[in-house]
Structure 1
């Protein structure tokens, strides 16, 4: 009887270990998928509209957070504006954001952070329109992270912009102990505030 009980316990432990190993392998497998297709729902505008307080031209791709299993890939109509995660303009098309031509805006991935990243195309910036703000942004040669009060407003509304969170990977508010990074972001924010709406 005692031997039978030990055998059952060992069998249960082995089954649990096999189950855990299987779950672990599946988790690793999903991490190793490099080009997993994006199933986020999106809508391509068929006319000029305003989303997140930004006038969007026809052909703009609006991507949304997936809420339901049937919401994936291209949609036939606009979804809830609250769930917008990305706005991307057609290739060759930009809009003005703080005097700088931009190609896309992406909501911060970290849901605890209230803001978005703005991507510029400095090749389309007219030399006559350069400002100290655009020069500083260009020196990062990367996206600009903006924290805002109202997450439903992605426009260049200085009353809504609280700070510049980052400029590329080399200038981040996260690295508080790095005084050079903080000074650069402070100056960038100061120059942003000087741009006319």
Structure 2
């Protein structure tokens, strides 16, 4: 699935309430050469969402068929719905030489690392579980029961991500933004990546 001219996959995981969406959005807005892959989901579209732009909205039967046919790079259930990243759509992005940033959960990250060991897994965590609890409570959208569920899920998200390549603590948002950008920049400067994607640089070593 990969050659030296294709892009890199960056997988970003984090517990709910850690700032993953904000950080990922900032990365896409400030770093060039990043591609987007629209996910498939079985959930009902929310107001303002457009099929094929926000998500590819499909029914459970269609989703299950795609799983059976091996059409997903990764897929996982999430709060009663299923989400997945199309293998074909991801390859289109990578074949353009763009880096693909995926904002998913630990289950999807583990699947991608099994299929693509060269993928870069970035885990974002809060400075403490108490800080995370306070952030979730400040939303004023959680009941005591859902808050408990999210805290338990957060602990699982962290425990299952010990194979991550990078760990970013989101204690200060601006610092975390810079750290995430730095991970992408540093990986683009790896020797094998530079040689594989820049013929003029590779020529320096051909003599």
- Normalised by the length of structure 1, the TM-score is 0.23
- Determine which structure has greater relative contact order: mean sequence separation of CA pairs < 8 Å that are 6+ residues apart, divided by chain length: 2
Structure with the greater alpha carbon radius of gyration: 1
Which structure is higher in helix share? 2
- Normalised by the length of structure 2, the TM-score is 0.22
Which structure is higher in strand share? 1
